[in-house]
């Protein structure tokens, strides 16, 4: 009968789902432990994974030549900063950086592990235009990813990052379903491959701030994108307890003429995340997306201070520009400024550690922390 047929089909579907849910990567216990540690209370992640080209742009702003010696010096300055382990749980590195050493011959990965900081690695190879669209993008890097992840694990990395980039354009209907589905599937394949090789995948579907859209529209798009991502992660049998999410905050576009308060941004962001991010995810580490250092810290603090909405995951930071801008300026490429730069970096990191607990009082870094880091169509 039709009723019996329906029951049989349902039983098969449930059995298939249970079998898929029962699959776990070989490194499951380690993945879960690492992901949980990265989301430790009062700590966050330093994104020091700028490509050679991107760090060159940063260096040019302070008149420093972009060469391997200067890149090594700058990263060592950050990693050696005293007491940074009190507020930094992990560092994302570019491939060159993962294999670099300190001036006295200690591999960066070993230096970080000695400070109880988890080494991480950026594994995507950049974005290209997505065929079938008029300017939307897809992220590359899946070819050979498993072998690269195995090498990175041997070099000491224990987590990875892959950045997908989506844009809001209401007139063009961006992000299109094609762009959302393609980027979600790539993120899911990346995550599954990383877990198979022992690396915790940070899933980063960034929606750029560019444009005049409202905060309400950003919230709508953020929920659609994240729902698509988590459907793809489920389809690819990714162990959510061994992942982290790195999303944009829900903000009005950079050209929007209707500003929002920090409290509004915090509410919209947490509300959107509650609607689509499973509670199995241990931590959400936000990208700064071009906000000033102080804005990024205050916004994180506001989200961790909300009392009207529960937060089943740790809410923390994974900042690049919003952790480094003042330190980079203080350094200026001069060895004699290293201590000053380290202090600026530590001050900003401590501020974000406090914000991850909802305890930041504001004011760290002074006027420099209020300078914009926004770059239109940001790519690295």
Tokens of 373: 């880091």
171 is catalytic: no
Q: Which residues of 295-315 are buried (b: 16+ CB within 10 A; e: fewer)?
A: bbbbbbbbbbebeeeeeebbb
3-state secondary structure of 102: coil
Q: How many residues does the chain have?
A: 380
Short-list 235, 320, 237, CA closest to 24: 237
CA–CA separation, 25 and 233 (whole Å): 14
Nearest to 198, CA basis, from 240, 149, 245: 149
Side-chain half-sphere CA neighbours of 128 within 13 A: 7
204 is catalytic: yes
Catalytic residue among 95, 197, 246, 293: 246
Catalytic residue among 204, 206, 293, 294: 204
- Environment class of 6 (CB within 10 Å of its CB; exposed 0-12, middle 13-18, buried 19+): exposed
Q: What are the catalytic residues? A: 204, 246
């Amino acid at each position: 009968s039709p009723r019996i047929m329906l029951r049989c089909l349902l039983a098969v579907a449930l059995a298939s789902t249970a079998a898929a849910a029962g699959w776990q990567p070989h490194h499951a216990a380690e993945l879960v432990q690492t992901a949980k540690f990265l989301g430790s209370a009062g700590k966050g992640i330093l994104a020091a994974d700028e490509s050679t080209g991107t760090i060159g742009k940063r260096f040019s702003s302070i008149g420093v030549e972009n060469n391997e010696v200067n890149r090594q010096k700058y990263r060592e300055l950050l990693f050696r900063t005293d007491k940074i382990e009190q507020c930094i749980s992990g560092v994302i590195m570019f491939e060159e950086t993962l294999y670099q050493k300190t001036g006295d011959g200690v591999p960066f990965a070993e230096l970080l592990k000695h400070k109880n900081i988890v080494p991480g690695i950026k594994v995507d190879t950049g974005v290209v235009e997505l065929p079938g669209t008029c300017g939307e993008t897809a992220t590359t890097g899946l070819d050979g990813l498993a072998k690269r992840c195995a090498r990175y694990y041997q070099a000491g990395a224990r987590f990875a990052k892959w950045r997908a980039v989506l844009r809001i354009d209401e007139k063009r209907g961006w992000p299109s379903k094609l762009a959302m589905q393609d980027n979600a599937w790539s993120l899911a394949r990346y995550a599954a491959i990383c877990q198979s090789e022992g690396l915790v995948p940070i899933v980063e579907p960034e929606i750029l701030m560019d444009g005049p859209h409202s905060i309400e529209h950003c919230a709508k798009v953020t929920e659609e994108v994240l729902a698509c991502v988590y459907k793809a992660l489920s389809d690819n049998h990714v162990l959510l307890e061994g992942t982290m999410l790195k999303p944009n905050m829900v903000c009005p576009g950079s050209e929007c003429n209707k500003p929002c308060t920090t409290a509004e941004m915090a509410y919209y962001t947490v509300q959107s995340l509650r609607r689509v991010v499973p509670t199995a995810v241990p931590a959400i580490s936000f990208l700064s997306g071009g906000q000033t250092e102080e804005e990024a810290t205050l916004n994180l603090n506001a989200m961790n201070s909300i009392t009207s909405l529960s937060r089943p995951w740790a809410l923390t930071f994974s900042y690049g520009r919003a952790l480094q801008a003042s330190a980079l300026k203080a350094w200026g490429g001069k060895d004699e400024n290293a201590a000053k730069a380290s202090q600026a970096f530590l001050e900003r990191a401590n501020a974000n550690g406090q914000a991850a607990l909802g305890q930041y009082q504001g004011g760290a870094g002074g006027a420099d922390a209020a300078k914009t880091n926004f770059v239109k169509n940001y790519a690295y």
